[in-house]
Each structure stands twice: as structure tokens, then as C-alpha cells.
Structure 1
Amino acid sequence: MQWIWYNGELVPAEQARLSVLDGAVLHGAALFETLRCYRGFPFRLEQHLQRMRRWLAALRLFASARQQVDLRTPFIEQAVASLIRANDLQSADARLRLTVTAGSEWSQPACFLTATVLSPQQIARWREGAGVLLRPDPRAGTGERPKWSSYAAHLEAQYEAQALGREEVIWFNAQGNITEGATSTVFAWDGRHLVTPPLHEGILAGITRETVIQLCAQEGIPCIEAPLSVGELLSAEAVFLTSSVREIVPVTQLEDRPLKPHPLVQQLQTAYRQLVEKERAHDTSAGL
């Protein structure tokens, strides 16, 4: 039986109920955060909560949720721990998803957590790499984006990639600049700098993206946030994707161009995993 944490209680997944009058159902009005749990340790949980709290405060649509949903860190930490225990995932890596719905004038907002196991085979595939396609960004606008639950465009892009034997789609905007992956952020090594698109290109302020930027400073790797054209991406020496669940994924095929493993990407993969283990050890020693 799979358990979820729903509005403060553990319930069997098949018994959880969301009103058809909730704004999440009617209009896709929900925010979510996805993160990875390493053998019971939710990596960068606080950063994910800060991002969600920031968007809840900024969006008028979530006025009711701001008043009714408890996103204090200790409360959510306890929720995560109880959910992991209920699903017997203490010794496994898992995908955690926290969702807050807007509710509506007819329905109260909801807050729920899900946890699903990540198989060793999945994890190994991500570390080995992914093939990607380039497509126009179907979303309009610029500026940093919230993590809406209305992910239809992202899922459609993923289905197209999978149908063509690839794992991800990288989007570019009307100016010919890279924005992000359908479910990831993008980095490219041009031989001198590691480049990632700036937030004003209309991308998610990714938690893993920010972690990689910090790791670059630690590792002495020059990293800049700057517009990245399609041509620059196609000529890059190395390209990789980042996401909270998949960590750092090397791009092994960019459109029809194969890319060889690059030591810089491997260096960052190692540094990222070392950071996870360091924070996990600190968390354990703190008795959390």
C-alpha cells in the first residue's frame, strides 16, 4: 500500500480526495516542489520550501493557501519523515513532491506530499547521460517562473522526446536563446566558461542550478549566467542538465550530434554527490 501525507495526515493513496472544484482541477492553480530524498534525507528541503513560500506570498491566487497551509520547516520535516517511514523508504532514494493547491471559493486549499522510490537502474541511467531535442519554447513571457502544477507543455515535450528515443527537450525562445529543459535547467561548457541561461530568459530558479553554480565557485570552474544561443549550445564542448531528482545529467546526444563524456561534468557530478553526503551526515549528527 502506498501512503501519502494529505492536509496533515497520512492516508492510503487511493483514499485521498481532492475536490473537483479546487482551483488545481479547474485551472491548474497549484504550486509544487520536487526533491530527492537520499535514504531518508531530503536534500535542500529548506531551499525548496523558501521558493514555494516566496511564490505563495507573491501570487494573489494563493491568498487562502497563505492563511491556511502550514509550510514551516519543522512541520514539513516531520511530514517528510513520517511519509518516508510509512512507505518504508528509509534505506532507498526517493522522489518527493510537495503540492499546494489554490482552492477556490467553493473548496479549501490542499497541501499534500507524495514519495516514490527511485530504482538503482533509473539513477544509473541519469548518471550516464541523456539524448535531447531542441524545440521552440511553447510558453510566452520573460522573467523567473513559478513552479506551476499545470505542466501539460512540459509533459508533451517529454512524450515527444521519448517517442523519438530521447530523454529530454531543451527549449529556445523567439530570440533564439536557450531557456531551459522541459523538466531541467541547462549548462554548457564553451572551453572557457560554464554558461547557464539567466533567470530573465523566463526560466525556473532551479535549486540544483543554484547548487551547481555554488559548486563551480568551490571547484574553481568559471561559471556565468548569460544568454546562450542555439548556435552556441550546438557548438559547446559539453552540455549537461540539472534537476533535483536527477542531479547532473550529461547530454550524450544533442539533436544528431553525439557528445563524449567530459571530465568537467564528471568533476561536478562527484562534487555534487560529496555535498549530498556531507549534508546528510550533518543532518544525521544533528539528530533530525
Structure 2
Amino acid sequence: MSRTWFNGALVTGALALDRGERGLLLGDGLFETILVLNRTPLWGNMHFARLEASSRELGIGFDRNLLDDALEELLAGAPSSHQVLRVTLTRGSAGRGLAATGGTSSLLLTLDPFDPGLMFRPVALASTAIRRNPHSMSSRLKTLSYIDNVAAAREAAARGMEDALMLNTEGNAASSTIANLFLLKEGRLVTPARGQGILTGVMRQALLHTAAHLGIETEERAVAPGELAGAEAVFLTNSLRFVRPVSAVDQQPLAQGDLSQLVSALCEAARLQCGADPRLIWEAPGVKRPAHKEGR
């Protein structure tokens, strides 16, 4: 079951957009994609705080009380199974010109079923020539201007790969098109630093916190692409898919180190917040669930 809330009310069918909607015309907006477990947005406050900070930086109106009311209405009566919540905030309609002001921002929330079988699944990457710019707002903010990511993902798909490894303009490893990058090296977690042209993902932050709680040393720095081949494990983090081991880059296999301790601790943190372990595959009534597996 899918549900939609737009500018003050639940809606069915197509949305009625103003012809001057800048989110559509210029990609002038922001979004957050959030896993919902047991009708609870996982790490929702972190997502919404990022949305609010980004909207303030871009000068887009944001009303947290309105968002909270919209969430309550959207989630009421929703299934308790895995769902994906997307929150889209745009500048709305304004006069012509890139620097135009005025108008009222638009807020769109959608809720759709999410297949938990996509979580924790290994992924092979293809490198791409499309670079992330450390000096660009579109690299460090979660804006609607996603064309570089779209182009890189299409390039990877054309080569039979699910995602792409994106470098930054200095030639260092940055991220995939939809996830942050981590390396396990000599028992330490290494991830590209904030100034490397990355979006600092919420799951990335949750994992760094979890690692600290487990006593695992972490390091945020520039990562040369050649380091991936020598790592004990390489993996991606994403708000919907959690932790995904990288099996290969450009068809060159990578080591598959044990990530089960990190995965278990991260999932336990999610369970404490949402009352449900995200690793459990939700089934229709009367259908037996598969055995629980660690470190998927």
C-alpha cells in the first residue's frame, strides 16, 4: 500500500503542481529517504535535522511542526512491515530567474513498501569518470540536483553493475551513487572525510557511533582508490540497505572480511528505536519467516 501527503493533506491519484514549481523546473529542493520499521522512521530525527539545516543554508522555508503533523497522518494505519518514507522539500513557485524569491515552499511525503531482501546484499561496483566536486553544494547536501548520480548509475548499469564507484575531482575515492564508502583495514574502519565531496549519510553517522561504542577505531580521511584492493573488507552504508559488502570493483574481487559484529550492533540499535530488527523478513500472515541470519 502506497500513501502520499502533499502540502497539507493526504492525496490519491496525480499531484496538482503549480506550473512554476522550482523543484520540477530547476531541481531547487532537498529530500530525505528513510526506512520505516514498525511505523517508526529509523533515525528520523537525524534525517529531519539534516533537512532543516540544509533548508536553512539554501534559504528554503521549513516548518518542522508541519512535517511532524504530516508524518502522524501519513503513518497512521500504515503497515508495520518495512516501508520507505521519502520527504521532499522544494522552494515552491516563485518569479522567474535563478535568484527569484517569494512564494511558499512545497512539502511532499510518500510512503511505499520496501523489500527487505535488498538489505545487506553484496554489490559489485563499476568505476565511473563522473567526479564528485568537494566544493559543490550538490555533493554535500541531499538536493534534488542528482543528475551526476543518475548518469553514473546508468553507466554502471550499462556495464552490468548495480552501482558505481565515484571518485572526487582530486582522484580520491568518495562514495557510490547512493551510499557512503567504508574500508576495514587492520581492524580499523576508514571512510572518506567530509571534505572529500561526500554526502555525510545518516547511516554513515550511525555506523561511526556504533563502532565507537564497540571500541573499534575509526578514521575519516582521503582514501586512494588503490587502498580498496588491500582492505580486509570494503562496504557501503545506506539508510535503506544498511551495510552492503562490496564484492568487486571493475570485476576485480575484493576481500570479504567479517562484518557481523558491526551489523548486529547496528541492527540492535535500530531494534531499540523501532521495536523491530530490520533483518527480519516480514511475511504475509500464516507464512513462516526464514531463519535469522547474522551479518547479511
Task: Settle same-fold status: TM greater than 0.5.
Answer: yes
Q: TM-score, normalised by structure 1?
A: 0.86
Q: Decide whether the 8 Å contact of 2:134 with 2:198 is kept in 1.
A: no
Residue 139 of structure 1, CA deviation: 3.8
Any stretches of 5+ residues in structure 1 without a counterpart?
283-288
Residue 104 of structure 1, CA deviation: 3.4
Would you say 1:108 and 2:104 are equivalent positions? yes
For 2:123, which of 104, 119, 130 is the aligned residue? 130
Which residue does 1:285 correspond to in 2? none
User: After the TM superposition, which residues 55-74 of structure 1 pair with which residues of structure 2 at under 5 Å, given as runs?
Assistant: 55-60=54-59, 62=60, 66=61, 69-72=62-65
Q: Identify which range, 182-191 or 251-260, moves more after superposition.
A: 251-260
Q: Decide whether the 8 Å contact of 1:39 with 1:89 is kept in 2.
A: no
Which residue does 2:85 correspond to in 1? 96
Distance in 2 between the 1:274 and 1:258 partners? 30
More helix by share: 1
Q: Give the 3-state SS of the residue equivalent to 1:204 in structure 2.
A: coil
Which residue does 1:286 correspond to in 2? none
Q: Counterpart amino acid of 2:114?
A: L
Q: Counterpart amino acid of 2:254?
A: L
Which residue does 1:8 correspond to in 2? 8
CA distance 1:139–1:223, change in 2 (3 Å): closer
User: After the TM superposition, which residues 1-288 of structure 1 pair with which residues of structure 2 at under 5 Å, given as runs?
Assistant: 2-12=2-12, 14-60=13-59, 62=60, 66=61, 69-72=62-65, 75-85=66-76, 89-106=78-95, 108-119=104-115, 123-142=116-135, 145-263=140-258, 265-281=259-275
- Alignment deviations for residues 34-66 of structure 1 (CA, whole Å, 9 cap, x no partner): 110012110111111111111111114x2xxx2
Distance in 2 between the 1:164 and 1:84 partners? 39
Q: Counterpart amino acid of 1:246?
A: R
Distance in 2 between the 1:2 and 1:219 partners? 38
Q: Decide whether the 8 Å contact of 2:130 with 2:152 is kept in 1.
A: no
Q: Which runs of 4+ in 1 moved over 6 A?
A: none
Q: Counterpart amino acid of 1:100?
A: L
Which residue does 2:279 correspond to in 1? none
Distance in 2 between the 1:237 and 1:228 partners? 15
Q: TM-score, normalised by structure 2?
A: 0.83
Q: Counterpart amino acid of 1:207?
A: V
Distance in 1 between the 2:38 and 2:224 partners? 39
Distance in 1 between the 2:135 and 2:228 partners? 20
Residue 260 of structure 1, CA deviation: 4.7
Distance in 1 between the 2:21 and 2:112 partners? 24
Q: Counterpart amino acid of 2:125?
A: V
- What's the RMSD between the two structures over aligned residues? 2.0
Q: Decide whether the 8 Å contact of 2:229 with 2:254 is kept in 1.
A: no
Any stretches of 5+ residues in structure 2 without a counterpart?
96-102, 277-296
Q: Give the 3-state SS of the residue equivalent to 1:210 in structure 2.
A: helix
Distance in 2 between the 1:272 and 1:166 partners? 27
The sequence identity of aligned pairs, in percent, is 28
Q: Give the 3-state SS of the residue equivalent to 2:266 in structure 1.
A: helix
Q: Identify which range, 245-254 or 99-108, moves more after superposition.
A: 99-108
Q: Counterpart amino acid of 2:194?
A: L
Distance in 1 between the 2:11 and 2:117 partners? 32
Q: Decide whether the 8 Å contact of 1:213 with 1:223 is kept in 2.
A: yes
